[in-house]
């Protein structure tokens, strides 16, 4: 089936279908070269006919020194016919890629290529690192499966997922973190139905749709997360108001984190792009989703019903509560 035909078919069923550019994949994977050597890479939401994940690792197979590249793809159950899905495996060649991205061993799948199907789980068990852009609507389940099978991964997801309680807990416990990210924080994807997007979001010239709130999520270590966030602001009580309902100060921008404050601070989600676990500890997260003691992580002043971080009664959006961990001069 041609790429466009598959794209169209899939798009009829769900809105999870947007396709990652190879330049964005290259920009990220180069930070993890040491984690890929001699490893089996599994792209489990990727049709080799048009996935740039498959294409990228096929081209860079020797550069990364991979052991094997495996890809499976999905067809919605109501559209699925036997023979529509297959597993594709590539074990490389001695030399650089010959440019034929369909080189590999093709084995039909019995089921529809769902990452949760038994045959895809069997492939997952054998794999070392999963790299893909999975369906955003199944992100929680997708990550839970990777954690259950103790897999290393590098995947794309919406930054909003940070405040899902299951995902936040993994971030707080330093079991997963954000990767390097997209150029200027903007991800551009190819979509099946550009007409569904407003002009300004869809660029007719490139045929791409712009998403602002997208990140890489990973449990592969990278240099960036050990770089110190440089702090130069001095704490002044009047510039950093306390929340009405939490014993913590509001820091509206990461650049404004004071260098000399050892109490609890509320920072925006963008903090996670620069988070260094040697410099800060994450205590919790307060979102609009209500009070969940485990997630909020710090005591709420009990006379307040509202769990959102409030300043003079006004909501300040999602805040992550952090505290300095390293030694510093006050
Ligand atoms: C965001 S798109 C990304 C596609 C491709 N990985 C890329 O980055 O270009 C997510 C893909 O997951 C597929 N998908 C949806 N549900 C799935 C499932 N249960 N199991 C496996 N793949 C699924 C969709 O068909 C879609 O192609």
For the segment 26-52, the average pLDDT, to the nearest whole number, is 97
Could you give the residue ranges of the DSSP H alpha helices within the chain? 3-13, 22-29, 33-36, 52-59, 61-64, 118-126, 139-148, 165-172, 293-296
Say whether pTM exceeds 0.85. Answer: yes
Q: SS3 of 165, please?
A: helix
Q: Does residue 28's CB lie within 6 angstroms of at least one atom of ligand 1? A: no
Cα 254 to Cα 277: distance, rounded to the nearest angstrom: 15
- Chosen CATH of 3-225 out of 3.30.1490, 3.40.50, 3.40.30, 1.20.58: 3.40.50
Q: Where are the domains of the chain?
A: 3-225, 227-324
What's the confidence (pLDDT) of residue 9?
46
Q: Does residue 85's CB lie within 6 angstroms of at least one atom of ligand 1? A: no
Cβ atoms within 10 Å, residue 271: 22
Q: Does residue 191's CB lie within 6 angstroms of at least one atom of ligand 1? A: no
For the segment 284-313, the average pLDDT, to the nearest whole number, is 87
Residue-wise pLDDT for 172-216, tens only, equals: 999 999 999 998 888 999 987 777 777 778 888 888 999 889 999
Contacts of 268 (CB under 8 A, 6+ apart): 252, 253, 254, 317, 318, 319, 320
How many Å lie between the centroid of ligand 1 and the Cα of residue 24?
17
């Amino acid at each position: 089936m041609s790429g466009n035909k598959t794209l169209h078919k899939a798009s009829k069923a769900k809105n999870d279908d947007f396709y990652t550019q190879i330049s964005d994949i290259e920009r990220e994977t180069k930070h993890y070269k040491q984690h890929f050597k001699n490893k089996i890479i599994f792209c489990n939401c990727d049709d080799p006919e048009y996935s740039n994940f498959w294409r990228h690792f096929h081209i860079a197979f020797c550069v990364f020194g991979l052991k094997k590249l495996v890809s499976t793809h999905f067809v919605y159950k109501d559209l699925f016919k036997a023979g529509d899905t297959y597993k594709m495996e590539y074990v490389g060649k001695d030399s650089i890629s010959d440019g034929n991205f369909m080189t590999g061993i093709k084995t039909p799948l019995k089921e529809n290529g769902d990452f949760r199907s038994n045959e895809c789980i069997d492939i997952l068990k054998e794999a070392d690192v999963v790299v893909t852009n999975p369906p955003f609507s199944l992100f929680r389940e997708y990550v839970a499966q990777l954690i259950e099978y103790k897999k290393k991964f590098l995947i794309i997801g919406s930054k909003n997922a940070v405040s899902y309680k299951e995902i936040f807990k993994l971030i707080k416990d330093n079991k997963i973190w954000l990767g390097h990210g997209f150029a200027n924080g903007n991800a551009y994807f190819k979509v099946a139905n550009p007409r569904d997007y407003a002009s300004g979001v869809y660029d007719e010239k490139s045929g791409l749709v712009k998403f602002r709130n997208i990140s890489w999520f990973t449990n592969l270590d990278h240099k960036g997360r050990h770089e110190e966030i440089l702090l130069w602001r001095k704490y002044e009580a009047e510039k950093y108001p306390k929340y009405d309902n939490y014993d913590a100060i509001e820091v509206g921008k990461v650049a404004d984190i004071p260098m000399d404050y050892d109490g609890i601070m509320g920072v925006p989600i963008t903090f996670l792009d620069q988070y260094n676990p040697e410099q800060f500890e994450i205590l919790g997260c307060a979102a609009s989703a209500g009070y969940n003691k485990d997630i909020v992580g710090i005591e709420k002043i009990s006379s307040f019903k509202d769990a959102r971080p409030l300043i003079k009664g006004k909501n300040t959006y999602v805040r992550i509560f952090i505290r300095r961990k390293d030694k510093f001069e006050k």
